[in-house]
């Protein structure tokens, strides 16, 4: 298949990334170390970032919206976090012992997260979800977990239940412990609880893929009510939304307190770190010997000092307000662009998590949920891929999803809107919109 004009430009701008990809394929399956970084014809390889910008190996500069897969609400190379980590390095990165740092880190989590009576640190969000599920099962002695189609909870065997691809190597016995339902139907949730030995219900707090497929907050309250009624553990996945949708996450924003929540991303201040926070009696399954939890890098000093610095800024500053305000400006600007170029589409999202749909005109509520029947047709996967390449060509990472940071400026947003408009036009010129 002949290359498009957008793809030709992508090759022209990124020759060193193309070379590195050939080397990477010799080392890594698909040539990447994270599925989200896999991109045809090759991914862009970055060298460094500062504030709201980052640069690739070919010297191209980008306005940054991937933000460490949601971790970097404070911006790249935040000076306070850089200093905290540098100072800690000289004192040792791992002392194989408890420290005051992990206590201070947990104190901040408890200060900010409504459900957090106790905390247990892990090294990632995937690990936090695995532990939350295990804790729920150990706590009430039941085996099944309810999750929802297309909701992402990491790459563990249990969390992959309901996926259509990538299911090799997962025993059927494991998948039999998972019940996968469509979100939004509380009747189906209660029926499943009544018919099975359900230990817990887990859900992404704003909807699948960071709210890309949104849910109404009333559904969270309905889950809270039905799990309370049946003595089932309610696990809220706040890996992305914790400290982002508000200082206290979505549970504070919408006033729905789960039994357990999973945290990562912003928690670690840009370094690896995850946690389960929630009711003391459930976390004390570890204390009672109902389960064991090891982990070489749990609460390690480097992640702890970065996490402390980040959460102190969230707790005491206007980080969330700035990120949300930037998100609102970008969302309004994108919707103006769609109207100006006369291409169907809309931007939506909660706070600093902005998503777009291209090809569809629709009335949406404040949560981004489509009201009534939309008009138009979503762009194809090929067109979507061309749009993402075009955005890279025009100096913006990442495609149609924007995770805002407190450091995004009006200049950043203006450049992004220019890139968004130019990219839409370029894909249309190729006859794909």
Burial 390-408 (b: 16+ CB within 10 A, else e): bbbbbbbbbbbbbbbbbbb
> What pLDDT does residue 234 have?
99
**Every domain of the chain and the residues it spans:** 5-76+319-429, 79-316
3 state SS for the chain:
CCCCHHHHHHHHHCHHHHHHHHHHHHHCHHHCCCHHHCCCCCCCCEEEEEECEEEECCCCEEEECCHHHHCCCCCECCHHHHHHHHHHHCCCCCCCCCCHHHHHHHHHHHHHCCCCCEEEEECCHHHHHHHHHHHHHHHHCCCEEEEECCCCCCCCCCCCCCCCCCCCCCCHHHHCCEEEECCCCHHHHHHHHHHCCEEEEEEECCEHHHHCEECCHHHHHHHHHHHHHCCCEEEEECCCCCCCCCCCHHHHHHCCCCCEEEECHHHHCCCCCEEEEECHHHHCCCCCCCCCCCCCCCCCHHHHHHHHHHHHHHHHCCHHHHHHHHHHHHHHHHHHHHHHHCCCEEEECCCCEEEEEECEEEEECCCCCEEEEEEECCCCHHHHHHHHHHHHHCCEECCCEEECCCCCCHHHHHHHHHHHHHHHHHHHHCCCC
- Which letter, b or e, does each residue of 54-71 get, where b requires 16 or more Cβ atoms within 10 Å of its Cβ? bebebebebbbbbbbbbb
d(CA 129, CA 55): 33
For 133, list phi and psi in degrees, rounded to 5: -65, -45
Model pTM?
A: 0.97
| pLDDT tens digit sequence for 126-137 | 999 999 999 999
**What per-residue confidence (pLDDT) applies to 370?**
87
| pLDDT digit string (tens) for the chain, length 433 residues | 689 999 999 999 999 999 999 999 999 999 999 999 999 999 999 999 999 999 999 999 999 999 999 999 999 999 999 999 999 999 999 999 999 999 999 999 999 999 999 999 999 999 999 999 999 999 999 999 999 999 999 999 999 999 989 999 999 999 999 999 999 999 999 999 999 999 999 999 999 999 999 999 999 999 999 999 999 999 999 999 999 999 999 999 999 999 999 999 999 999 999 999 999 999 999 999 999 999 999 999 999 999 999 999 999 999 999 999 999 999 999 999 999 999 999 999 999 999 999 999 989 998 888 898 888 899 999 999 999 999 999 999 989 999 999 999 999 999 999 999 999 999 999 999 9
Site of tokens 């804790």: 135
Q: Is 189 exposed, middle or buried (0-12, 13-18, 19+ CB in 10 A)?
A: buried
Spatial separation of the C-alpha atoms in residues 165 and 221, rounded to whole Å: 31
Contact by Cβ (8 Å): 123, 271: no
State which fold the 79-316 domain adopts: 3.40.640
Task: Name residue, tokens 């894909």.
Answer: 427
Q: Which CATH architecture has domain 5-76+319-429?
A: Alpha-Beta Complex (3.90)
- Which pLDDT score, from 0 to 100, does residue 374 have? 86
């Amino acid at each position: 298949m002949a290359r498009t004009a957008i793809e030709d430009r992508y090759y022209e701008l990124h020759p060193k990334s193309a070379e590195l990809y050939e080397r990477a394929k010799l080392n890594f399956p698909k040539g990447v170390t994270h599925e989200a970084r896999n991109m045809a014809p090759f991914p862009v390889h970055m060298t460094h970032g500062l504030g709201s910008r980052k640069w690739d190996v070919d010297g191209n500069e980008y306005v940054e919206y991937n933000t460490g897969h949601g971790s970097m609400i404070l911006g790249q190379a935040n000076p306070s976090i850089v200093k905290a980590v540098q100072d800690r390095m000289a004192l040792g990165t791992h002392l194989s012992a408890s420290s005051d740092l992990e206590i201070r880190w947990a104190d901040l989590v408890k200060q900010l997260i409504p459900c957090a009576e106790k905390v247990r640190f892990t090294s990632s969000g995937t690990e936090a979800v695995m532990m939350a599920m295990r804790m729920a099962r150990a706590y009430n002695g039941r085996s099944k977990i309810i999750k929802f189609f297309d909701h992402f909870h990491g790459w563990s065997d249990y969390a992959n239940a309901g996926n259509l691809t990538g299911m090799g190597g997962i025993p059927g016995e494991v998948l039999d412990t998972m019940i996968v339902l469509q979100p939004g139907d509380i009747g189906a949730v209660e029926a499943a609880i009544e018919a099975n030995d359900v230990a817990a219900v887990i859900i992404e707090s704003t909807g699948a893929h960071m709210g890309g497929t949104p849910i109404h907050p009333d559904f969270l309250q309905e889950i809270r009510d039905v799990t309370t009624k049946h003595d089932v553990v309610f696990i809220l996945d706040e890996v992305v939304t914790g400290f982002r949708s508000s200082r206290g996450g979505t549970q504070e924003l919408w006033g729905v307190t789960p039994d357990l929540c999973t945290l990562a991303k912003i928690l670690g201040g840009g370094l690896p770190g995850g946690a389960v926070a929630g009711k003391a009696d459930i976390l004390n399954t570890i204390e009672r010997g109902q389960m064991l939890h090891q982990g070489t890098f749990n609460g390690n000093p480097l992640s702890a000092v970065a996490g402390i610095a980040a959460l102190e800024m969230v707790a005491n500053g206007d980080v969330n307000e700035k990120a949300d305000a930037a998100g609102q400006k970008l969302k309004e600007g994108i919707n103006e662009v769609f109207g100006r170029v006369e291409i169907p589409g809309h931007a939506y999202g909660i706070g600093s998590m902005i998503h777009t749909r291209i090809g569809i005109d629709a009335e949406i509520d404040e949560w981004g949920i489509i009201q009534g029947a939309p008009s138009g047709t979503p762009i194809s996967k090929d067109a979507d891929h061309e749009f993402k390449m075009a955005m890279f060509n025009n100096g913006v990472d990442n495609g149609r999803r924007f995770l805002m940071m407190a450091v995004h400026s009006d200049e950043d947003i203006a450049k992004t809107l220019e890139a968004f408009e130019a990219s839409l036009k370029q894909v249309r010129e190729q006859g794909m919109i």
